[in-house]
Amino acid sequence: MSERNTLVRSMHDLGLAAWFGGSLMGAVGLNGGAATAQSPAERLAISSRGWAKWAPVQLAAVVVHGIGGLGLIAGNKTRLVGQQESRTNTTIKLMLTALAGASALTSGLLGGVISRHAQEGGEGVTEPDAGSSSTLTGAQRAQKVLQWTTPVLTAVLIVLGAQQGEQQRPVAGLFETTLRMFRR
């Protein structure tokens, strides 16, 4: 338990923080701000350009988080074998990470559809106009849900990461205290 995993833990946490924060800021700030544009077509174009600029950063954040997560699993393999709660937490985190990744990917694909149909405009970034095509309307309605799915899933991952950190402390502290008592 004395081995440190500072690099991979930092990659795990910083990647997840950027993924969560960028997704949340995009839903609240970017989509919310773009929705105030005067022109319905401009609303979709502004949001699409902003998300396109963020996409490479988000991809890098997801990759860094994934590398860090795999490094933590490798670094904590002994602990994972011996602690059922850590194994369960890790399994849940892996499943939620896959869901968050699928959500982010699907949201990106829907964003591409919205971008290609930006000239049709919309009441908001995720609210279609009455005259919008069925393709744009479907993409906007799905995006209205997914823009919140990714930040919710990544927020849960942050909480589960904190829980795993807490699972480490008592066991190590109890073990070390007990060992010191027997050495005296």
Using one digit for the tens of pLDDT, what is the confidence trace for 4-37?
Answer: 789 999 999 999 999 999 999 999 999 999 999 9
Burial of 150 (0-12, 13-18, 19+ CB in 10 A): buried
Q: Taking each helix axis from N to C terminus, what angle separates 134-183 and 6-25, rounded to the nearest 10 degrees?
A: 150
**Which residue, 78, 23, 68, 90, is CA-closest to 50?**
23
Q: How high is the pLDDT of residue 1?
A: 45
**pLDDT value, residue 79:** 82
pLDDT at 174: 55
* Residues 163 and 42 sit within 8 Å (Cβ to Cβ): no
The pLDDT of residue 178 is above 90: no
Written as six digits, the tokens of 151 are: 């930040």
pTM as predicted: 0.84
Percent of the chain clearing pLDDT 90 (strictly above): 76
Averaged pLDDT for residues 107-134: 94
Q: Residue 140: pLDDT above 90?
A: yes
Residues in the chain: 184
List residues bridging with 122 in a β-sheet.
Answer: 128
pLDDT band at 173 (very low <50, low <70, confident <90, very high): low
- Asked if pLDDT for residue 135 goes beyond 50, the answer is yes
Per-residue pLDDT tens digits for 58-83 = 999 999 999 999 999 998 888 888 88
The answer to whether residues 104 and 111 touch, using CB atoms and an 8 Å cutoff, is no
